[in-house]
Structure formats: C-alpha cells, structure tokens
Amino acid sequence: MEFKLEAHRIVSISLGKIYNSRVQRGGIKLHKNLLVSLVLRSARQVYLSDPCLGGPGVGGPPQPPPAQEQLPGEPAPGWGEPHARDSSMEQDPEPAGAAPEPPALPLALGKRSLEGSPLLRAEAVPEAPRRRVEAAERGGGGGEGALEGPPRARQCCCRRLCCSPHGAPRADCGCRPRPDDGAPPPPVCPRKRSASGAGGGPAGCLASGGSPVKKPRRDSEEQPGDEEEMETGNVANLITIFGSSFSGLLRKSPGGGREDEDGEEEEEEPQRGPEAAEPGPMYCDKPVLRNLNPWSTAIVAF
C-alpha cells in the first residue's frame, strides 16, 4: 500500500514539475521533461497495477512497485489489464491501424525494450496529463497566468458527459469508439495556443512547419463551455488525463485525420518551444494539483 502512496506522491510531484517547466526561463527543457515523464509513467503504472487499490490492477499479478519490465507471461502488463475497463471509456475514435484499446499494447518500460515498440512509446510519453498551451488568445499575455481549470470532462462521442468514470458505459449512451472519426473531442484539457502561434517558451506549441497557427481548440466551439466544465468536473477530468491520454494519441493519424492535427502534434510531452512542430502533451496543472483528494478517488475509479 505504501507503494501506492509513494507512487501517488511521485505522480503529483511530477505533474508539478511539468507544470513549472512551462514557465521556466529559456524554454522547456526537453531532457528534463523526458525524464520526468518517464518517472511519471513508472509511478502511474505502479499505482494502477497495485491490486490493493481494488482498481484495475486486479487484472494482473501484483508487481513490485519498481517493476517496469514486462511481466513474463503477462501479455499486457501495466497498460494492458488495468485498462481493460478503461477501454469502455475510450470514446475517442482511434486510427484504424491502432488497437481498439490502447491497453492492449504492452507497455514495456524496461530500458531496452522500448526500441521495438515505438507505438508503445507513443503511449508512454504522454502519460503525463496533457499540457495546456498558453494562449494569448486567452486574453493576452497567456504566459503563466492563463490557467484553466481542470481538463474538460471526458466526453464520449455523443458529446455528453454520459459515461461514468467507473468504466461501465451507461446503457443509454450507446457510444463506442469510432474508427476514424475525428469529431469527438479528445477529452483532455483544451489546448491553447498563443495567438501569435509562437510555439515556444513556456507553453507554446506550433503547428508543424513552424508557421504560426492559431490552432483551433479541439473543441473550439465548446471552449467557453470548457471552462465551466473544468471548474466542476475535476474528478472526471482527472480520470480523463490518465485514462485517455493515449486515446488521443492513437486517434491521431499522420495524415491528419483529426480535426486539428496540429494539436495532436503537441502531445509530445517534453518538447515544447524549441521545435515549432513538436507535439506537446496536454496536462492539467492547477486543477490536478488542487484536487489531489478527488484525484485519488478518480484513480480508484480506474
């Protein structure tokens, strides 16, 4: 149990670091953020796989907290089993090529096993909650100040907060992942972009090609609504961070099958300002940090 507490603590510390890195002088440090994301992923895996939570970990054999290697005989450790239930929450359509559920992809955290699984890495890196991009469009001087509430509550394809965090879709929802429908918004923090399109610095992300692009928010039309939701839907949003951070990625197709492909590119967690085209992760900062209690509840719900 103490492993879980430790993991919880490490996750929240890591989130704080990622958040703070956005406002550092000199821009986001790719190296440090990469390392933090690795820790975050490890901690999260431990947290989710520890069966004493009664959470998703029941699906897999208990792992020692630091265990990051793929368990022998466990086809889908970490991400696999624990997320079996998550898949029902995965309302976001995914590219045809990807497994219907991200959990099916084993996430091997061992040092050497990553080379062969770039797609898994795609999951791994953005484990950190998605990061918001500061946007001048928020009212000038995006900078550090423009904080939003928690990420938008997870929405299923029918754009309703219909599915409970506990995994079982409501009967009346009828939602299911649609293969390549880019329409349903990714249930993550709306990403903001600096109005100038400048991607760099604390939180900027640019469209590929480096041209300043006022990237539409994923759910641009819901943006005003987002804020309201974020104020209230913390718990669900927090789940969203961890449960669906990969769904968005998997949805993404290189050809731009999503409504704002540029936005997806920003999901690369550590990379920020330096490379205009780099994806950057979305994460929730203040809301996450502010709501650690509901957070654990949310995680339990996983």
Partner 1 sequence: MAGAGGGNDIQWCFSQVKGAVDDDVAEADIISTVEFNHSGELLATGDKGGRVVIFQQEQENKTQTHSRGEYNVYSTFQSHEPEFDYLKSLEIEEKINKIRWLPQKNAAQFLLSTNDKTIKLWKISERDKRPEGYNLKEEDGRYRDPTTVTTLRVPVFRPMDLMVEASPRRIFANAHTYHINSISINSDYETYLSADDLRINLWHLEITDRSFNIVDIKPANMEELTEVITAAEFHPNSCNTFVYSSSKGTIRLCDMRASALCDRHSKLFEEPEDPSNRSFFSEIISSISDVKFSHSGRYMMTRDYLSVKIWDLNMENRPVETYQVHEYLRSKLCSLYENDCIFDKFECCWNGSDSVVMTGSYNNFFRMFDRNTKRDITLEASRENNKPRTVLKPRKVCASGKRKKDEISVDSLDFNKKILHTAWHPKENIIAVATTNNLYIFQDKVN
Task: Please count the residues of the chain.
Answer: 302
CA dist., res. 105 & res. 22, Å (int)? 30
* 273 is an interface residue for partner 1 by CB under 8 A: yes
- Residue in 4, 15, 22, 43 binding partner 1, rule: CB under 8 A: 43
Q: Does 71 bind partner 1 (CB under 8 A)?
A: no
Q: Which tokens go with 109?
A: 């955290």
Query: What value, to the nearest 5°, has the Cα angle with vertex 29 and ends 26 and 35?
Result: 160
Beta bridge partners of 283: 131
User: CA-CA distance, 298 to 302, in Å (whole number)?
Assistant: 7
- Counting residues that bind partner 1 (by CB under 8 A) gives 55
Q: Does 102 bind partner 1 (CB under 8 A)?
A: no
CB 122, min distance to partner 1, A: 4
In the chain, what is the straight-line distance between the N-terminal and C-terminal CA atoms, in Å?
A: 17
Work out how close the CB of 162 gets to partner 1 at its nearest, in angstroms, rounded to a whole number: 29
245 binds partner 1, rule: CB under 8 A: no
39 binds partner 1 (CB under 8 A): yes
- Is 275 a binder of partner 1 (CB under 8 A)? yes
Q: How far is the C-alpha of 75 from the C-alpha of 81, rounded, in Å? A: 9
- Least spacing, CB of residue 175 vs partner 1, in Å: 25
Alpha-helical runs (H) found in 86-233: 86-89, 118-124, 223-232
Closest distance between partner 1 and the C-beta of residue 76, in Å?
A: 19
Tokens for 288? 């996450």
Q: Which residues pair with 131 in a beta bridge?
A: 283
Closer residue to partner 1 (CB): 154 or 252: 252
Binding site for partner 1 (CB under 8 A): 6-7, 10, 13, 17, 25-27, 29-32, 34-35, 38-39, 42-43, 46, 65-68, 111, 114-115, 118-119, 121-122, 125-126, 194, 196, 198-201, 204, 206, 210, 212, 249, 254, 265, 267-268, 270-271, 273-276, 278-279
